[in-house]
Chain A
Amino acid sequence: MASVTVNGRRHPVNLPDDTPLLWALRDELGLTGTKYGCGMALCGACTVHVDGQPVRACMTPISAVAGSKVTTIEAIGTDHVGRALQAAWVDMGVPQCGYCQAGQIMSATALLRRNRKPTDAQIDEAMSGNICRCGTYGRVRAAIKQVASRTGAGR
């Protein structure tokens, strides 16, 4: 039986190897914070971290993360960048419907962890894989910049 390590816990999963991580998280492990949006890595709603790197869980088979550490939105608050971004999101009223915001925060956390002071172009590049149909992009950008300027982001 395959297993996945999610948010520091190892879970055996009785699913075919090609099952996308997204559905293992949502349907088997009950971690519904990671969202389905397209199933084709086009919208970013399902973004999680695998060994610290942002990946689209909808196109990542569970077999590909067997020896890796998966972090989801439910645990990103244990990372100080993730936690700062969550706070900025709330403070600046970023979410509208909120559905895509887990993916946005996962992408933004990955961005700030590798780049303390991203330029506008770097923010756009890192975040343009995450669709927000409500159109919160302006506030997403502003919240990322606020965290970058206040925390210095780096570890």
Chain B
Amino acid sequence: MSAPRADVATERAVVLANLSRRGFLQGMTALGSFVLAAGFPSAVRAADPPKYGADGMPNGWVDDPLVFVGIAADGTVSIVCHRSEMGQGVRTGMPMIVADELEADWKRVRVVQAPGDEKRFGNQDTDGSRSTRHFFDPMRRCGAAARTMLEAAAATRWGVPVSEVEARNHEVVHAKTGRRAGYGSLAKEAAQQPVPARDGVRLKDPSKFRYIGKGQIKLVDGRDMVTGKAQYGIDTRLPGMLYAVVARPPVYGGKVVSVDSTETLKVPGVLKVVEIEASPAPAQFNPLGGVAVVARNTWAAIQGRKALKVIWDDGPNGSYDSVAFKASMEESARKPSKVVRDNGNVDTAMAGAAKKVEAEYYIPHLAHAPMEPPAATVRITKGKAEVWGCFQSPQATRDLVAKRLGLQPADVTVHVTLLGGGFGRKSKPDFGIEAAVVSKAMEGKPVKLTWTREDDLMHTYFHTVSVEHLEAGLDAQGKPVAWMHRSVAPTLFSTFDAAARNEHALELGMGVINVPFAIPNIRIENPEATAHTRIGWFRAVSNIPHAFAVQSFVAELAAAAGRDPKDYLLEVIGPARRITPEALSDAWNHGESPEKYPVDTGRLRRVVETAAREAGWGRQLPKGRGLGIAAHYSFVSYVASVIEVAVDDAGEISIPRVDIAVDCGATVNPDRVRAQMQGAAVMGLGIATVGEMTFKAGRAQQDNFHTYEVTRMSGAPRETRVHIIPGDYGQPMGGVGEPGVPPIAPALCNAIFAATGKRIRRLPIRDQLKA
């Protein structure tokens, strides 16, 4: 294996990084388990003050230049990226922050991927749209501290006060005498300098940024990606490597009763069949179990698996049926249940309302379907395991592989490859553990374990399935006076806790409990729901069903009131104000400080107004065309989308244009913000129009891209315009990877209503317009 991203410490002449660690600038100590990494505020122990943001994540943050920056004698600057690249551009963005403060010449920067080691690098769980907002400040300090050390080294060499020298574009300059020294020549002396105290580090004035916010830097992996050189988890090759695929129980919680591998072992190239212990529900991050087929190449393993004769015990979920489950959720959604937010008196207001509106929405299970399915390679030598793979959470992989193999985490090295898409799927390291189990059964030989597309779709950690029931009372002027939302969905926490029946604070805080509406009477309820498959987080998570229901319903109220949907939405949001999440009964707030991150309706209004203005809201459209708008606050960012839809006489949809306004605070790499919004529009349209996983007799019914459809180029918008609201680097940043997704489906369905008068309440739309 070419081992493309070796640990920085093993690289040649990485002077700074070769110094011993100096106990300072340490990350926070571990809080709770990685299961909590979905992003809780960590106010778990009453005695501790609550911690937010990166401080609240396991192992917090590290800003030590000795950990992240290396300078070689030839001037090459190595910068460690400790977050996983899955298309969001983090391997470009994170090092850009360091390089900017370091005054490094980007042409001489190389990026080194960190192995899984949170004690050393800080939290590495790449999900929750957190990388930039949690690590912008630490990475700035890191680059600035390294720059300070280079300046101090030059001043010492020249015997001049440090205040007289300045680092500028890869060299330190003494203006008075015109002396200059390149970073390479200073590296060794800089390494002798003390790491400056954090509060003594001088950060650049943002007006002096060279790269941050500018957008001239190309993707560090771009060239490799277009020439076939980029290394993903599925591309790992090691000498003597074997290949494996796994036959997993078709039903969640099932297990093997008996295996007949006679025919399998006759397939040319098949070497061995290995049983993997089943994990009863809740499976957490453990493998589902089943039978691995080990072979000399992937194809032989797949052929061998086809020839297996396995008798399965389906376990308690063998009757899971999506049609019946939808009916049961609808029944729950129509009865009073657990109240999770209660402002004013909804019943009284509803009774006195001039008009009552009621609607129910359905959003099915989804599969992430990253183009690269999960794949991992493990080799075990002399009690030490090495793992290569496309992991969003390399530390969890390390801990759990160690646990399964009976090793210490220190004996497990996790190399993070590029991820061919993640979308939340690759936060779960079950596939790494599977590879470890099989490698162990093969006496530690290197084994690459690949999930086929069928495995990926039928055995993922599914996005939940939801019924959203809404009722509102309008006064004589059509203004809403009462809002009642009952949200029913199996919780993703059911994958960790068999007793979990209600949406967790984390899920409620994704746009159902924290609607920032200027409505005096609001009640949110959450009936119980039991999970019958493995639920997990999918890009934007519960914001998808919640935003779909809430933003569709606001448009339905506008229609009932005879009002323009955009004006009505702004009226429902109400005047610009900063609302503490507590006032919305939101205990989660995306894991962020309620003081730093209140819900700012001024910002929400501004994205609505911007998207509407840029889209030409109100313009005349030909027959069959319509504009729809939706806005949503998630991952502490504000996004509004206007979609123009064209519905032809046959009921076929096309999308001439999408306008997206995003306020995520200040940006590091605006082109990647645009790219994330453009991509979110495509994924959101797929969710709205074609995406659906269903179950029958406990078994997922869609097994490849002909049955689980995703948006293709022909269904993509002709044009997606992204309007980034300018931000201030002194203000907290928001997320970018996920917040673009939630407004898309409701904006589309609102546009369809404008075009056709037909209201879509059940996703996906598929052929509902063809009737």
Contacts and interface: CB of A to CB of B under 8 A. Distances in A.
A90 B222 contact: yes
Nearest to B233: A99
Contact of B716 (A16, A125, A138): A138
A95 B713 contact: no
B671 interface: yes
A96 B89 contact: yes
A36 B390 CA distance: 15
Given A27-B297, A133-B370, A135-B716, A86 B227 contact: yes
Given A26-B235, A32-B234, 8 more contacts: A95-B225, A97-B371, A124-B713, A127-B713, A131-B371, A133-B370, A133-B710, A139-B678
Contact of A97 (B218, B370, B678, B681): B370
Interface of B: 85-89, 218-219, 221-232, 234-235, 237, 243, 268-269, 297-299, 302, 369-373, 418-423, 450, 452-454, 671-672, 675-676, 678-683, 704-706, 710-714, 716-720
Contacts, number: 192
7 contacts: A40-B453, A43-B705, A97-B85, A97-B87, A99-B421, A135-B682, A137-B711
Interface in A37-81: 37-40, 42-43, 45, 72-74, 77
A136 B680 CA distance: 10
Contacts of A35: 232, 234, 371-372, 420
A132 B371 contact: yes
B87 A96 contact: yes
Contacts of A94: 226
A134 B679 contact: yes
Given A97-B372, A138-B719, A33 B418 contact: no
Contacts of B234: 32, 35-36
B228 A31 contact: yes
A141 B713 contact: yes
B712 to A, nearest CB: 5
The 10 closest A-B CB pairs, nearest first, are A33-B228, A135-B682, A99-B420, A98-B225, A97-B87, A96-B87, A135-B679, A73-B228, A27-B297, A23-B299
Contacts of B89: 96
Interface residues of A, number: 61
Interface string A94-136: 1111111110010000000000000010011101111111111
A30 interface: yes
A91 B228 contact: no
Interface of A: 15-16, 19-20, 23, 26-28, 30-40, 42-43, 45, 72-74, 77, 85-86, 89-91, 93-102, 105, 120, 123-125, 127-141
Query: Which secondary structure characterizes the binding site on chain B?
Result: loop
Contact of B226 (A15, A31, A90): A90
Given A23-B297, A38-B453, A93-B671, A131 B710 contact: yes
A20 B298 CA distance: 10
Nearest to A89: B226
A135 B421 CA distance: 11
Contacts of B419: 97
A130 B704 CA distance: 14
A135 B225 contact: no
Contact of A95 (B219, B706, B714, B716): B219
A135 B222 contact: no
